[in-house]
Amino acid sequence: MPKTQDPGETLCVLPNGTLLALAVLALVSAATAQTARPVLDSIEGHLAAGKNAAGGRDNTPDFYGLVTAICVAPLNAPARPDAPAPRMNPNRTSAYLEPKRAFDDLYWMGTPSRSTWALTTSDGIILYDTQSVYDAEEVIVGGLKKLGLDPAKVKYVIISHAHENEVGGAKLMQERYGARIVMGAGDWDLVDQSVNGFPKGKPKRDIVATDGMRITLGDRSVTLYLMPGHTPGTISGVFQVHDHSKPLTVAYSGGTEFNFVNDVPHFDTYLASERKFAATAAAAGATIILGNQSQFDGAALKLRRLADRRPGEAHPLDVGAAAVARYFKIEDECAQAVRLKLLAQQHGAPQPAQ
Ligand SMILES: [Zn+2]
Ranges 23-37, 129-143, 230-244: which has the least confidence: 23-37
- The domain segmentation of the chain, as residue ranges, is 44-347
How far is CA 250 from each of CA 40, 237, 280, rounded to the nearest angstrom? 33, 8, 11
CA 208 to chain centre: 19
Calculate how far, in angstroms, residue 118's C-alpha sits from the geometric centre of ligand 1: 19
Calculate how far, in angstroms, residue 255's C-alpha sits from the geometric centre of ligand 1: 6
Calculate how far, in angstroms, residue 166's C-alpha sits from the geometric centre of ligand 1: 7
Calculate how far, in angstroms, residue 163's C-alpha sits from the geometric centre of ligand 1: 5
Q: So what's the pLDDT on residue 61?
A: 67
Q: So what's the pLDDT on residue 55?
A: 76
Calculate how far, in angstroms, residue 254's C-alpha sits from the geometric centre of ligand 1: 9
- CA-CA distance, 302 to 315, in Å (whole number)? 9
Across the chain, what does the average pLDDT equal?
Answer: 88
DSSP, res 221: E
Kindly report the CA angle at 133 between 291 and 139, in degrees rounded to 5? 65
Tell me the pTM. 0.85
Q: So what's the pLDDT on residue 41?
A: 87
Q: So what's the pLDDT on residue 60?
A: 61
Decide if pLDDT at 3 tops 70.
Answer: no
DSSP, res 100: E
What is the gyration radius of the CA atoms in the chain, in angstroms? Answer: 21
Kindly report the CA angle at 171 between 169 and 176, in degrees rounded to 5? 100
pLDDT in tens, 25-56: 444 444 444 455 554 689 999 998 888 888 76
- CA-CA distance, 52 to 155, in Å (whole number)? 41
**Amino acid (1-letter code) at residue 251:** A
Ranges 105-114, 189-198, 242-251, 340-349: which has the least confidence: 340-349
Calculate how far, in angstroms, residue 237's C-alpha sits from the geometric centre of ligand 1: 16
- 259: Cα within 13 Å, side-chain hemisphere: 14
pLDDT in tens, 213-222: 999 999 999 9
Calculate how far, in angstroms, residue 127's C-alpha sits from the geometric centre of ligand 1: 17
Q: At 228, phi and psi to the nearest 5?
A: -60, 145
Calculate how far, in angstroms, residue 103's C-alpha sits from the geometric centre of ligand 1: 25
Cα distance between the two ends of the chain: 14
Decide if pLDDT at 79 tops 80.
Answer: yes
Q: Is 242 within 8 Å of 248 (Cβ atoms)?
A: yes
Q: So what's the pLDDT on residue 198?
A: 94
Q: pLDDT: is 165 or 149 the higher one? A: 149
How far is CA 92 from each of CA 80, 130, 302, 303, 314, rounded to the nearest angstrom? 25, 16, 22, 21, 33
Calculate how far, in angstroms, residue 188's C-alpha sits from the geometric centre of ligand 1: 14
Calculate how far, in angstroms, residue 190's C-alpha sits from the geometric centre of ligand 1: 12
Classify the phi-psi angles of 6: left when phi > 0, otherwise alpha if psi is within -120 to 50, otherwise beta: beta
Q: 47 by DSSP, 3-state: which?
A: helix
Handedness of CA 4, 268, 252, 260 (dihedral sign): negative
- CA-CA distance, 231 to 267, in Å (whole number)? 12
Calculate how far, in angstroms, residue 29's C-alpha sits from the geometric centre of ligand 1: 39
Alpha helices (H) along the chain:
7-12, 18-30, 43-52, 64-67, 136, 143-146, 170-177, 185-193, 264-284, 294-297, 299-305, 321-347
Calculate how far, in angstroms, residue 180's C-alpha sits from the geometric centre of ligand 1: 21
Q: So what's the pLDDT on residue 37?
A: 52
Domain 44-347 has CATH 3.60.15.10: yes
For residue 238, how many other CB atoms are within 10 A of its CB?
21
